[in-house]
Amino acid sequence: EPEYYKWNQWFFLRMLERGIAYKKKSRVNWCPKCCTVLANEQVVNGGYCWRHEDTKVEARDIEQWFLKITEYAEQLLDDLKTLEGGWPDRVIAMQRNWIGKSVGAKVWFEVEWTGEERGFTTEGAEGPQSLQRKDGERAQPGMAALREKIEIFTTRIDTIYGASALVLAPNHPLVTRLIAGTAEQAAREAKLAEMRRSSAKTEDIATAEKDGFFTGRYALNPFNGVRVPIWVGNFVLLEYGTGAIMAVPGHDERDFEFATKFGLPKLVVVRAAESKEKRKDNAEARSLQRSAEVGVQEAEEVFTEYGVSVNSGKYSGLESAAAIELMAADAEAAGYGKKEIIFRLRDWGISRQRYWGTPIPVIYCAKDGMVPVPDKDLPVLLPANPKLTGEGESPLATDPEFVNVKCPKCGGDARRETDTMDTFVDSSWYFYRYCDPRNDRAPYDPGKVKYWFPIDQYIGGITHAILHLLYSRFWCKVMRDLGLVTHSEPIARLFTQGMVLKGGLAMSKSKGNVVGAIDMAEKYGADTGRLYTLFAAPPEKDLEWSEESIEGAWRFLNRVYRLVEKHGSERGLATEGRVETQSSLGRGELTEKEKGLLRKAHETLRRVTQDFETRWHFNSAIAQIMELTNAIYAAEPLEEGVRPEVRREVLELLTLMLAPMTPHLSEELWEMLGHTKGLWTVSWPAFDAELAKEEEVEVVVQVSGRVRGKVKVAAGTGQDEVLKLAQAEAGVAGHLAGKRIVKVIFVRDKLLNVVAA
């Protein structure tokens, strides 16, 4: 509705002002079925559309709008800590994983333009000061800076003495220039084109074989001045880090694989830290380690763990963590590197080429460029009659009335932006609007939001763990920075309910495994369906739909109905608007049978209340109610020894406890019990603790922790008494015969454990 999406546009303009919303051309995910771009979060199962799980997304280079969620990466990560306890662990873990923080360093390797197939060399390996500049020796045409540097990112700067190559992503902007002017330029360009083509297919990058080629150029390792060859590798991703890595084959599995294939050296620069025991008695290992410290050694296998640096100049002997710290600091001081934290999280691409979505409120003018739509012109309305061509172009673009506008700045002819916003924009803040839905001057009144927020309890499917739930957290922080809210997290407690499966799969129309809610309601009634889904499993678990089990729920409700039908006819006893508990009879006058029933009813109420309030374990609550029903049946005929007041109280409690789960049926039962006011007018009853208490309890008797008997005693009976009775029990006495009692553990009304030796 325009009354709502107007405020999406308003938020967008605020973000545009702050540089949070921006437009850029980039490689994006395109779903050919949706005919639109998707955000990274909307690509699932290694490259499929989240809505069409059988459709692979394609890579396309399109100019589109982004929201700078990455600016909030650190906060989104840090604040997850405040959600612990309130949010399920797996959702927190999934978000943490998605944000993907890596602490490391960037290092700049200077390109040596003169380099050509001279192979790997360790010449001049004596520290940073020996770094030799070869500027201008062989300048290439069109080269702006001769002192070109390649920036790499690493989490293991401590392994830099083991770098035997730099590897760039095929799409790295420098690659073409590096190749230019080298001896095998043509062959290299052909290879590069081939690699770029295959990387455009999102096919199983993770399992593809390592591939790459030498560019013909070298770069200088700033730490030791060693010349390392510059390669291009298919396993290096342009999007992550700097799009370039140092290959340390001795200490990274991918680099090891790459080096094995292309014959690069594998230097050992970290060895396992000696454990104390080893240090004592493993002289052989020690001598091996000594040899590792002498000279350059070819690694036989990859060692990726932390340990102690070796063959690393002045850093040799340092533990990995210390080496990382010191080397990053040194690099920064010397000006060839710096500490850096990077995130896996990408900015949120919100442009969609769809009709359904909020129009992005900007106008392109030949004279003024991109001009935001002024607030007073909001909302930018969707055209009423779009042409839906399915051609992959935004439906808005084909509507001249929508597209052709005057520039708000100069009044000249201009064009509207025709992309619409991702619908996840709408869902990122809808709950705030609930607090103030008719406001036409602002998205909401911050005062009203302050009263209600953050949300005490939110319920949703696990499917939104890194979509809706991440975007909403981001939106909240943006609104906070706009001064609209004072909290940083929108949702205090999150509950992720399970799915209903059929044949092991989530029900979906495309799979044809849906159970029609209407068919089911016609056959059993909606309440039976409700009761079944609640009873079959606790709510956080997935549940497999079972036709047989729903019969069970149906049978149970019929049992309850028949019970009320039979005994609910004593009209005139009903008290409107509440359950008359403990009846109007004096407690002392209750018969044994009456006491038993009332006790069971109130005990059930106690446990059901607890399940509802603290655990949401509706399945065990229903089991309790079933037990109560069974107990009432067992007490039949109720006419004998149970007065109408007591019968009614028990049946009213039964009806009330069922009401949250079977509202329709309960309403009918309530009427059958003689009430004329709706059940909804009645509040949840308090259980009578006195009544719920057992008078006689069964105490379990154990001998040395094994159950050997039981004794029935009055509630509250002391240890001595119970022990005396227990010793009289044949089964217990048999196990105690000829033994000495060492210790007695007694839990009142529950257990007696006699430890005998």
**Which residues 264-283 are close enough to bind RNA by CB under 7 A?**
none
- Does position 257 interact with RNA (CB under 7 A)? The reply is yes
Contacts 24+ apart (CB under 8 A), 732-738: 732/701, 732/703, 732/708, 734/708, 735/703, 735/706, 735/708, 736/703
249 preceded by a cis bond (ω within 30 of 0)? no
Name which of 17 and 253 has its Cβ closer to RNA.
Answer: 253
Q: Cα(221)–Cα(189) distance, rounded to whole angstroms? A: 26
Q: Cα(272)–Cα(147) distance, rounded to whole angstroms? A: 38
Among 149, 177, 254, 502, which residue sits at the site for RNA (rule: CB under 7 A)? 254
Q: Which stretch binds RNA (CB under 7 A): 4-12, 175-183, 238-246, 283-291?
A: 238-246
- Does position 55 interact with RNA (CB under 7 A)? The reply is no
- Walk across the sheet containing 413-416 and list its strands: 369-372, 362-365, 413-416, 404-406
Among 30, 213, 218, 535, which residue sits at the site for RNA (rule: CB under 7 A)? 535
Say what the alpha-carbon torsion angle 92, 459, 476, 432 is, to the nearest 10 degrees: 180
**Residue type at position 752:** L
Near RNA in 437-466, by CB under 7 A: 462, 466
Among 197, 555, 571, 724, which residue sits at the site for RNA (rule: CB under 7 A)? 555
Over the window 135 to 154, marking each residue x when it contacts RNA by CB under 7 A and - when it does not, the resulting string is ------------------xx
- Does position 538 interact with RNA (CB under 7 A)? The reply is yes
If you ran DSSP here, which 8-state letter would residue 56 be given? B
Q: Which stretch binds RNA (CB under 7 A): 66-74, 408-416, 516-524, 617-625?
A: 617-625
Name which of 47 and 313 has its Cβ closer to RNA.
Answer: 47
Near RNA in 326-365, by CB under 7 A: 344
Minimum distance between the CB of residue 641 and RNA, rounded to whole angstroms?
A: 18
Near RNA in 13-52, by CB under 7 A: 44-46
Among 698, 714, 718, 741, which residue sits at the site for RNA (rule: CB under 7 A)? 698
Near RNA in 475-514, by CB under 7 A: none
Name which of 400 and 503 has its Cβ closer to RNA.
Answer: 503
Minimum distance between the CB of residue 327 and RNA, rounded to whole angstroms?
A: 13
Among 65, 66, 235, 315, which residue sits at the site for RNA (rule: CB under 7 A)? 235
Q: Which stretch binds RNA (CB under 7 A): 285-293, 405-413, 554-562, 593-601?
A: 554-562
Minimum distance between the CB of residue 238 and RNA, rounded to whole angstroms?
A: 7
232 touches 192 (CB < 8 A)? yes
Among 6, 14, 156, 600, which residue sits at the site for RNA (rule: CB under 7 A)? 156
- Does position 89 interact with RNA (CB under 7 A)? The reply is yes
- Does position 546 interact with RNA (CB under 7 A)? The reply is yes
Q: How many residues bind RNA (CB under 7 A)?
A: 86
Which tokens is 275 given?
Answer: 């454990």
Q: Cα(493)–Cα(614) distance, rounded to whole angstroms? A: 13
Name which of 193 and 288 has its Cβ closer to RNA.
Answer: 193
List b or e across 508-519, with b for residues whose CB sees 16 or more CB atoms inside 10 angstroms.
eeeeeeeeeeee
Q: Cα(462)–Cα(497) distance, rounded to whole angstroms? A: 7
Among 296, 521, 626, 672, which residue sits at the site for RNA (rule: CB under 7 A)? 626
DSSP secondary structure, 198-214, as one string? HHHS-TTGGGSPP-EEE
> What are the φ/ψ torsions at residue 729 (nearest 5 degrees)?
-65, 135
Among 303, 315, 556, 687, which residue sits at the site for RNA (rule: CB under 7 A)? 556
584 touches 575 (CB < 8 A)? no
- Does position 531 interact with RNA (CB under 7 A)? The reply is no
- Does position 544 interact with RNA (CB under 7 A)? The reply is yes
Near RNA in 174-213, by CB under 7 A: 205-206, 208-211
Q: Is 492 exposed, middle or buried (0-12, 13-18, 19+ CB in 10 A)?
A: middle
- Does position 86 interact with RNA (CB under 7 A)? The reply is no
Count CB atoms within 10 A of the CB of residue 562: 11
Q: Which stretch binds RNA (CB under 7 A): 89-97, 367-375, 522-530, 684-692?
A: 89-97
Among 296, 700, 713, 733, which residue sits at the site for RNA (rule: CB under 7 A)? 700
Among 100, 128, 596, 644, which residue sits at the site for RNA (rule: CB under 7 A)? 100
Name which of 516 and 705 has its Cβ closer to RNA.
Answer: 705
Name which of 40 and 75 has its Cβ closer to RNA.
Answer: 40
- State how beta strands 500-502 and 505-506 pair: antiparallel
46 touches 204 (CB < 8 A)? yes
- Does position 743 interact with RNA (CB under 7 A)? The reply is yes
Q: Cα(516)–Cα(241) distance, rounded to whole angstroms? A: 49
**Residue (of 24, 16, 8) closest to 65 by Cα position:** 24
- Does position 548 interact with RNA (CB under 7 A)? The reply is yes
**Residue (of 495, 490, 489, 475) closest to 91 by Cα position:** 495
DSSP secondary structure, 270-339, as one string? EEPPPPHHHHHH-HHHHHHHHHHHSS--B-SS---S--EE-SSGGGTT-BHHHHHHHHHHHHHHHTSEEE
